[in-house]
Structure 1
Amino acid sequence: MALANINLNRFAVFVALVRAGSFTAASEQLGMTKAMVSQHIAKLEEELGVTLLVRSTRRMSLTEAGERFHEDCVRVMADAEAAVSRLDERRDTPMGVLRVAAAGDHGPAIVAPALAAFASLHPQVSVELVVSDEIADLIAERFDLSIRIGWLRDSSLRAARLSTFRQCLVASPAYVARRGAPSVPDELAAHDWVSLSVLSSPTRWTFTDGAGVEHTVRTRPVASANSTLAAHAFVVAGLGISVLPDYVVDADLATGRLVPLLDGYRLPDGGVHAVYPGKQTSVKVRAFIDLLRERMSRGRKAIRTPDCPGAG
């Protein structure tokens, strides 16, 4: 006989009937009529091609085949309940591999410590961090989520905003000593610029002054880099001016390794987003997003240097 021809729901009715001891008691436990219970058992016997029960007006008893089949059914039902229980556990408890993509600057500095804390909190999870300044294909590369910096492109993926960051116009003290500091955005066109090539518009910048007036300037690159950390290294070496995120330059501004420029002007804040595929988020992804958002919120409160555009 083919399993496809058997209604497996009737296994549960059969087990409940044997456990209850009568059609009347089984109908009460199952919430169906006595006639329906009887119909299910008759259909099951028809599908199996064997007699499972011997009925009389006063009692019922299992046939030899019925006894063996009942033992098997109890085992099948127990396995099914255990499978559902394991599924519920996975739905409620983070477990498995959490594979995350992040940018080269943000990944090691922010995401890696958060993943370490997450793994300590959830020992049933193993974590994997892939660092790259290229935008990862989450579905093709089987990532659970990606932490993306800046402004999101149109996408079929879902996103959760984690935090914001300030864009800071900075230079090294050596550069300022050699070339001077710009006093208005238009003067940036005459300065040496370090460009970050992964930006959609790496040489065009719009500043807003205290009165809300926008000032757009096109810069002249003397160097270009495809990662924020490489651009940062160029700026620290005194090669030119650039706009870098606050989480990269906060320590430099506090120690004087870099200096802020164009006080009184600001750049728009950027966003930090967790991007993930699928309509339903797994418990491990939701838990990590919550942890990362809370850690980033704490970090911004603890380290907030006002000395760059966008801090007001």
Structure 2
Amino acid sequence: MALDVNLNRLAVFAALVRAGSFTAAADQLGTTKAMVSQHLAKLEEELGIVLVVRSTRRMSLTEAGELFHADCVRILADAEASIERLNACRETPRGLLRVAAAGDHGPTIVAPALAAYAQAFPDVTVELVIADSIVDLIAERFDVAIRLGWLRDSSLRATRLAGFRQIPVGAPDYLARHGNPDHPADLAKHHWIALAVLSSPTRWTFTDATGGEHAVRTNPVTSSNSTHAVREFVRAGHGISVLPDYMLADDLASGALRPLLPGFHLPDGGIHAVYPGAKPSAKVRAFIDLLRERVEAR
């Protein structure tokens, strides 16, 4: 059965042996001679053995005290080294950085940032896991997840990196066959490609120039849990949908897709870095800073 020993008393015992007297040990520890004596007495009581023989003029270690002192010095040295290693980890990025991101932004936004991060911090090994579902950061041992949209209530901490616009789009071929919607209510008559991972993939609320809101329920002909797949369905002329602006720059520039309902807009979404714990580690903090710079530059 393990002894119930207050480990703080080990430091007092080691200081006593190092100083050579109760008075000198009290001076080094910033306490009183009586307190040092009390700690030693409690330690001997907890261990059930005499460590120090003391008289009015001197003190000496028993044989058990000699053995225990050697172990105390080693234990305290190991503890100090461990604390120094933790301090180094807190101040310098090192170790494994596991990042989770969804398929619509993980390969195009997060992966290039991780490549730049790995070059800047060679003591860190990076791992990117692409998953369109919400991962459990703690259970699956992720350091950080990059999430887009609107965060759910959570005990996790989050840092907002940037925002993005939601844009309703359609392919020229589809619009030539079915016409352009002029009002959000018209979307209910169109073929809709739904992104299944959204909390309400068929309900949308648009705002006009005066601040008026216009809610509509769409009728999906196809759905997918992948934003990239939704984009390809729309590009193929299968229907229309809403996509984030960071996916649309090339398609809008080339004319492969056309923006719809220019007089109306949807709420902007956010790009967030989500991490467990009250304070991010050095490696997570450095990655968040780098990713924020790259996202803002886009």
- TM-score of the pair, normalised by structure 2: 0.87
Tell whether the 8 Å contact from 2:52 to 2:59 is kept in structure 1 after alignment: no
Give the structure 1 partner of residue 199 of structure 2: 200
- State the distance in 2 between where 1:28 and 1:99 align: 48
Partner of 1:20: 19
Aligned to 1:49: 49
Deviation at 1:22, TM superposition (A): 3.0
Measured after TM superposition, the shift of residue 168 of structure 1 is 0.9
**What CA deviation, in whole Å up to 9, does each residue of 1:83-140 have, x standing for no partner?**
2212222233333322222111011111122222222233332222221222223333
Check the 8 A contact 1:54/1:63 in 2, yes or no.
no
Match of 1:180 in 2: 179
One-letter amino acid of the counterpart of residue 185, structure 1: P
- Paired residue secondary structure (2:169): strand
2:98–2:144 Cα contact (<8 Å) kept: yes
The answer on 1:213 being equivalent to 2:198 is no
d(CA) in 2 for partners of 1:199, 1:51: 67
Find the counterpart in structure 2 of residue 238 from structure 1: 237
- SS for the counterpart of 2:37 is helix
Q: CA offset at residue 230 of structure 1?
A: 0.3
Q: 1:14 to 1:136 in 2, by over 3 A?
A: closer
Instruction: Indicate how the Cα distance of structure 1 residues 205 and 55 shifts in structure 2: closer, same or farther if over 3 A, else same.
Output: same
Counterpart position of 2:246: 247
Q: Give the whole-Å Cα distance in 2 for the aligned partners of 1:8 and 1:98.
A: 34
Equivalent position amino acid for 1:211 in 2: T
Distance (Å, rounded) in 2 between the aligned partners of 1:197 and 1:7: 56
Displacement after TM superposition at 1:214 (Å): 2.0
Q: Distance in 1 between matches of 2:120 and 2:237?
A: 43
Contact 1:53/1:66 (CA < 8 Å) preserved in 2? no
1:2-151 pair list within 5 angstroms: 4-45=3-44, 47=47, 49-53=49-53, 55=55, 57=57, 59-62=58-61, 66-151=65-150
Alpha-carbon distance change, 17 to 263 in structure 1, aligned in 2, over 3 angstroms:
same
- In the aligned structure 1, how far is the partner of 2:9 from the partner of 2:55? 18
Give the CA deviation at 1:228: 0.6
Show CA shifts across 1:250-304 (max 9, x none): 12112222221222221111122223334454333333233322321222xxxxx
CA spacing shift, 1:3–1:32, aligned 2, 3 Å:
farther
User: Please, which runs of 5 or more residues in structure 1 have no aligned partner?
Assistant: 300-312
Distance of 2:139 and 2:95 partners within structure 1: 19
Offset at residue 151 of structure 1 (A): 1.9
Structure 1 SS opposite 2:248: helix
Q: Is the 8 A contact 1:158 1:275 kept in 2?
A: yes
* Corresponding residue for residue 271 of structure 2: 272
Q: Distance in 2 between matches of 1:243 and 1:286?
A: 32
Identity %: 66
Q: Is the 8 A contact 2:50 2:62 kept in 1?
A: no
- Name the amino acid aligned to 2:137: L
- C-alpha separation between the residues in 2 aligned to 1:259 and 1:175? 10
Letter of the 2:108 counterpart: A
Alignment partners' CA distance in 2, 1:223 and 1:268:
24
CA contact (8 A) 2:149 2:269 kept: yes
Q: What does residue 295 of structure 2 align with?
A: 296
**DSSP 3-state at the match of 2:3:** helix
Change over 3 Å in CA distance of 1:194–1:45 after alignment to 2: closer
Query: Structure 1: how far apart are the matches of 2:40 and 2:221?
Result: 84
CA positional deviation for 1:3: 5.8
TM-superposed deviation, 1:51: 4.7
| TM-score between the two structures when normalised by the length of structure 1 | 0.83
Question: Which letter does structure 2 place at the counterpart of 1:230?
Answer: A
Q: Which residue of 2 aligns with 1:227?
A: 226
Give the whole-Å Cα distance in 2 for the aligned partners of 1:63 and 1:197: 74
Contact 2:193 2:240 in 1 (8 A): yes
Counterpart CA distance in 2 for 1:206 and 1:40 is 69
Q: In structure 2, what is the Cα distance between the partners aligned to 1:79 and 1:255?
A: 63
1:238 offset after TM fit, Å?
1.8
**Secondary structure of 1:4 counterpart:** coil
C-alpha root-mean-square deviation of aligned residues, in Å? 2.6
Q: Distance in 1 between matches of 2:186 and 2:5?
A: 81
